[in-house]
């Protein structure tokens, strides 16, 4: 008897094996990695910008580039999986985006990180469409919503994990033993930095008090040089800002995307008069425990600086490296835009580590997964029959044996367009939570940095509850109301409740004037945004299940089509917010953003009513001529 026959006999017991759950586990693990690699650059963005001397416009394209390539590669990524098999293609996708993530850690040119970001979006695009196709093969129709929600849950967990883990790793890779001494290259904006050392400044702010104390310790000759430099630097900086305001800047500079088009150091400003005297005085006193009066330092010290300061306050003598580190972090807090962050080098090994982790996940996925239960030697006949139950077989019978790709359905199906527009509008409204909420809490409510970060993460964490509940809800609704309403009701209703969350924020803004002393007020907005975020995720399993219901063998392609429109919405959302808010938004501008987000969710709810999971898009008699 052959080994294959022995395995077949061993696996043909009456109790179904649980291979489908192992497949679901590695898909979920892949989903965690997907979002971990995608959002890790968010918290590392400032360090990347400083390291590569990137302008804010270049950083904007760095962030945007991912969403454009991710959107337009959804359908091709799904089609490749439909054509060549989900196991092979998803393994290739994981390996590819992991290599790209790792390469970012060694990139030293603006054009290179821009193209790597495009490649990251392109290689990640096929992940969820392929996962949807595999879930269709490994789960019966009655359990697909729950399985889809678990994979989506992995993505949300990765999104919550990304800022926490990335920040910890960056800090870990720059330990206290690292040389923290201020270097000349750490001055990012010489004019802006020197302009602060004006003796005529009124010492009302922490930075002004620091400057006043610093100038009082300079010799007369150095003080004269610094004052002359400060006056010149202030004039130069004002002239530069005026020129930027009056000059029409191009939307995109094509030279940013070309290798060796010009020196990447072009954004480093020339050294200002007086900078040498300031810099030499700073560096000579970095190891002095009494250099900085921390009563004059901004309260926004980061946790490491606060821990060092607390130890010193308790009478513990800090070592020389610890003293230099504390003084360096204090200076960074006073000059956040002019001094390079000491943690900057930590982003590179962090990206490399994520790349290595991705390769390990790819190997695990390839070992555990097969394209279908019939191809898996670990799966017994009982499990295959459980997966291919009567309802699932009935749905498959509606599909032609060898359907042509449903090009016409992509353009003519009202149901598919309703699904696509729902995803497009949803992301326009949802993206506010992960992109603009920190700015709103800071500018309108004066929320401190640490509290701001926690508040910003809260809606995404609550969204996990909605994601899991949505999978159970759409499976229950299918059993209770049938396939069409079972997918339609959870999706449409969740868009309307998301609109209600933004309506709550708008109403709060209209009724209660922001006041930093009302610590509880920002939390009311977080409640509203938690409703919006949880509602958004509540409907996601219904979107996945719809694609599995109507897609047939082209499930991945159809899910990719909808995801493409969703990510186009994610790409244009920041442009819409920026158009409304501008550089210095008023409270009315923020109200307008809340109203826009509320409105797009309402329209998304009506678009969701067009969904019909009872009409497969690959049925030849509906969308193609007979042959």
Question: Cβ-count burial of 529 within 10 angstroms (0-12 exposed, 13-18 middle, 19+ buried)?
Answer: buried
Residues of the chain with pLDDT under 70: 1-13, 56, 201-204, 241-253, 260-272, 296, 298-300, 389-407, 409-410, 446-453, 516-517, 556, 582-584, 618-627
Do 1-174+343-397 and 404-618 share a fold? yes
Distance between CA 223 and CA 477 in Å, rounded? 76
The three-point CA angle 230-232-236 to 5° equals: 115
CB under 8 A, 24+ apart: contacts of 15-19: 15/382, 16/380, 16/382, 16/383, 16/385, 16/386, 17/378, 17/379, 17/380, 17/382, 17/383, 18/383, 19/373, 19/376, 19/378, 19/379, 19/383
Per-residue model confidence (pLDDT) at position 280: 83
Q: Are 160 and 240 in contact (CB under 8 A)?
A: no
Q: How many CB atoms lie within 10 A of CB 9?
A: 11
Distance between CA 471 and CA 473 in Å, rounded? 5
The token duo for 141 is 């129709």
Per-residue model confidence (pLDDT) at position 536: 92
Q: Are 335 and 193 in contact (CB under 8 A)?
A: yes
Distance between CA 537 and CA 529 in Å, rounded? 12
Q: How many CB atoms lie within 10 A of CB 28?
A: 20
Cβ-Cβ contacts under 8 Å for 38 (sequence gap 6 or more)? 66, 120, 124, 158, 159, 162
Residue with tokens 């702010």: 205
Would you say domain 404-618 falls under CATH 1.20.1250.20?
Answer: yes
Cβ-Cβ contacts under 8 Å for 123 (sequence gap 6 or more)? 93, 96, 97, 100
Q: Are 79 and 556 in contact (CB under 8 A)?
A: yes
Distance between CA 546 and CA 315 in Å, rounded? 64
Q: Are 338 and 187 in contact (CB under 8 A)?
A: yes
The token duo for 92 is 């290739």
Per-residue model confidence (pLDDT) at position 422: 94
Q: Are 232 and 272 in contact (CB under 8 A)?
A: yes
Per-residue model confidence (pLDDT) at position 44: 79
Residue 65 vs residues 45, 62, 248, 499, 552: alpha-carbon distances, Å:
14, 5, 22, 28, 32
Q: Are 230 and 195 in contact (CB under 8 A)?
A: yes
Distance between CA 250 and CA 248 in Å, rounded? 7
- Give me the helices (H) in 53-143, please: 56-72, 74-84, 86-104, 110-124, 127-138
Per-residue model confidence (pLDDT) at position 11: 53
Per-residue model confidence (pLDDT) at position 409: 66
339 three-class SS: strand
Domain ranges of the chain: 1-174+343-397, 184-341, 404-618
Distance between CA 323 and CA 330 in Å, rounded? 11
Name the CATH code of domain 1-174+343-397 (choices 1.20.1250.20, 3.90.25.10, 3.40.50.12170, 2.30.29.30): 1.20.1250.20
Question: 368: closest CA among 24, 611, 114, 625?
Answer: 24
pLDDT in tens, 321-339: 999 999 998 888 888 778 8
The three-point CA angle 419-420-424 to 5° equals: 120
> pTM above 0.85?
no
The token duo for 398 is 């509606």
Per-residue model confidence (pLDDT) at position 3: 44
DSSP string, 428-444: HHHHHHHHTHHHHHHHH
């Amino acid at each position: 008897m052959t080994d294959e026959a022995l395995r077949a006999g061993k696996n043909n017991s009456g109790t179904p094996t649980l291979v489908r759950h192992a497949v679901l586990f590695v898909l979920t693990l892949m989903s965690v990695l997907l979002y971990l690699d995608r959002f890790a650059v968010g918290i590392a963005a400032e360090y990347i910008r400083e390291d590569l001397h990137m302008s804010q416009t270049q950083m904007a394209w760095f962030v945007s580039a991912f969403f454009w390539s991710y959107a337009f590669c959804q359908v091709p990524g799904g089609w490749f999986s439909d054509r060549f098999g989900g196991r092979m293609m998803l393994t290739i996708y994981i390996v590819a985006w992991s290599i790209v993530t790792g390469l970012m850690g060694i990139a030293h040119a603006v054009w290179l990180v821009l193209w790597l970001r495009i490649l990251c979006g392109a290689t990640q695009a096929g992940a969820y469409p392929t996962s949807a196709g595999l879930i269709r093969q490994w789960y019966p129709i009655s359990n697909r919503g729950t399985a889809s929600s678990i994979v989506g849950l992995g993505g949300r967990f990765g999104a919550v994990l990304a800022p926490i883990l990335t920040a910890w790793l960056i800090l870990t890779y720059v330990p206290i033993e690292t040389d923290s001494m201020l270097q000349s290259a750490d001055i990012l904006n010489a004019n802006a930095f020197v302009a602060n050392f004006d003796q005529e400044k009124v010492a009302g702010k922490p930075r002004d008090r620091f400057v006043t104390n610093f100038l009082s310790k300079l010799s007369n000759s150095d003080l004269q040089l610094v004052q002359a430099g400060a006056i010149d630097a202030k004039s130069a900086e004002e002239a530069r800002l005026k020129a930027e305001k009056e000059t029409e800047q191009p939307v995109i500079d094509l030279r940013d995307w070309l290798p060796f088009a010009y020196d990447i150091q072009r954004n480093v400003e020339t050294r200002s008069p007086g900078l040498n005297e300031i810099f030499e005085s700073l560096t000579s006193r970095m190891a002095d425990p009494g250099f900085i009066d921390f009563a004059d330092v901004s309260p926004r010290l980061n946790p490491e600086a606060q821990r060092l300061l607390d130890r010193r306050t308790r009478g513990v003598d800090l070592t020389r490296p610890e003293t230099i580190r504390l003084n360096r972090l204090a200076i960074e807090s006073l000059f956040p835009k002019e001094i390079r962050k000491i943690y900057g080098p930590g982003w590179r090994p962090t990206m490399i580590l994520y790349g290595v982790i991705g390769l390990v996940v790819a190997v695990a996925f390839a070992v555990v997964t097969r394209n279908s239960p019939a191809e898996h030697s670990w799966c017994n006949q009982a499990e295959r029959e459980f997966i291919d139950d009567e309802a699932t077989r009935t749905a498959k019978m509606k599909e032609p044996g060898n359907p042509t790709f449903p090009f016409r359905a992509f353009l003519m199906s009202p149901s598919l367009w309703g699904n696509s527009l729902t995803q497009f509008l949803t992301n326009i409204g949802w993206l506010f939570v992960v992109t603009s909420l920190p700015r709103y809490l800071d500018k309108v409510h004066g929320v401190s940095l640490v509290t701001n970060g926690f508040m910003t993460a809260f809606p995404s964490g609550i969204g996990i509850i909605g994601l899991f509940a949505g999978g159970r809800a759409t499976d229950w609704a299918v059993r209770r109301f049938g396939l069409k309403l079972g997918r339609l009701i959870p999706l449409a209703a969740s868009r309307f409740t998301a609109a209600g969350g933004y309506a709550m924020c708008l109403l709060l803004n209209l009724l209660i004037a922001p006041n930093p002393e009302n610590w509880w007020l920002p939390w009311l907005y977080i409640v509203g945004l938690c409703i919006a975020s949880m509602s958004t995720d509540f409907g996601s399993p219904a979107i996945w299940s719809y694609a599995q219901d109507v897609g047939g063998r082209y499930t991945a392609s159809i899910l990719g089509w909808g995801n493409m429109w969703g990510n186009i919405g994610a790409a244009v959302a920041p442009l819409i917010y920026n158009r409304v808010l501008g550089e210095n938004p008023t409270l009315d501008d923020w109200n307008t953003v809340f109203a826009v987000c509320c409105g797009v969710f309402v329209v998304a709810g009506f678009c969701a009513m067009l969904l019909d999971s009872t009409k497969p898009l690959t049925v030849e008699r509906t969308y193609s001529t007979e042959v």
